[in-house]
Structure 1
């Protein structure tokens, strides 16, 4: 078996997009910063999102059965930190401009792209839950630079204007 620390160190070499994943329901708005988001298939268009079961908003995602994956642009490093912080859900959404598409889950107005999804399947694996999420609406903003996470720090990728 591979040791968890060795695995985490190795995974730090896997460059990933930075996303703020949001949901809405009776308990209000909730969101968290995630890099474990990936395309499953284009027929039907589906994403998977992995979430730590110990996250305090985990139960809200399970109950609400909807989420939006907001892919962050280079200008959103602060927002990524906000949604990874100890701040309350209410406090987090005071940062950024939010709207909604089909599900009502918060959509970041200036995200690179937002995937508005239903949560169709929930699979538990170890410490995490995998949500299988058919996409029901997409909003895209033409931008040419992205925020990525590599080697435990943020990097900006793409053509940056000065």
Structure 2
């Protein structure tokens, strides 16, 4: 009788590396944003994410990494426009909804407005940006998207929602 195949040492090392990497990244405190788009018919799509960063001031641009299986990915790429609502500490409920609620129910939480471009933005966000896709390319399980900023709205507050090790908290600029 044949013995079942054993997991190779390389595969165990890869699994250990992946688990350790995931745990290391959980220790990197990150701001949280809701990234959104809408299709030509007005249907809204969005996810909560921490995988975004400013890229350049000239031109104003940012970088997103979106899982290719996320409900937002395909509509965002098809539309070529997206919004970023940078969350305040008070936005834990809308953030939680974007993480746990079915896609069709996510926009039922929070004070949403629609930019002239048709892109939804959280009105009370610390900052709201509308961007157009400049470049998108796959990398591993994600699409890396470079966005050029066309619009920015700012709230005077700086009480940001922070995600660290699976938990939400907050921080102001003077802490």
Unaligned runs of 5+ in 1: none
Larger CA Rg, structure 1 vs 2: 2
Cα offset for 1:56? Answer: 2.4
Distance 2:158 2:52 in 1: 20
Q: Which has the higher helix share?
A: 2
Task: Quote the residue 1:84 is aligned against.
Answer: 99
Considering only aligned residues, what root-mean-square deviation do their CA atoms show, in Å?
Answer: 1.7
Residues 102 and 136 of structure 1 are in contact (CA less than 8 Å); yes or no, is this contact kept in structure 2?
Answer: no
How far apart, CA to CA, are the structure 1 residues paired with 2:173 and 2:57? Answer: 28
Equivalent positions of 1:79-158 (< 5 A) are 79-89=94-104, 91-158=105-172
Q: Distance between the aligned counterparts of 1:14 and 1:148, measured in 2?
A: 10
Higher normalized strand content (fraction of residues)? 1
Aligned counterpart, 2:86:
71
Structure 1 stretches of at least 4 aligned residues deviating more than 4 Å after TM superposition: none
Which residue is equivalent to 1:62? Answer: 77
CA distance in 1, matches of 2:141, 2:62: 20
1:6 to 9, 12, 20: 20
TM-score, with normalisation over the residues of structure 2? Answer: 0.85
Give the Å deviation of 1:29. 0.7
**Distance apart, 1:66 and its partner CA:** 0.6
SS of the residue corresponding to residue 11 of structure 1 reads helix
Q: CA deviation at 1:71?
A: 0.3
| TM-score, normalised by the number of residues in structure 1 | 0.92
SS in 1 for 2:100: coil
How many residues were matched structurally? 159
> Where does the alignment leave 5 or more consecutive residues of structure 2 unmatched?
1-13
Distance, in Å, in 1 between the alignment partners of 2:173 and 2:122 is 22
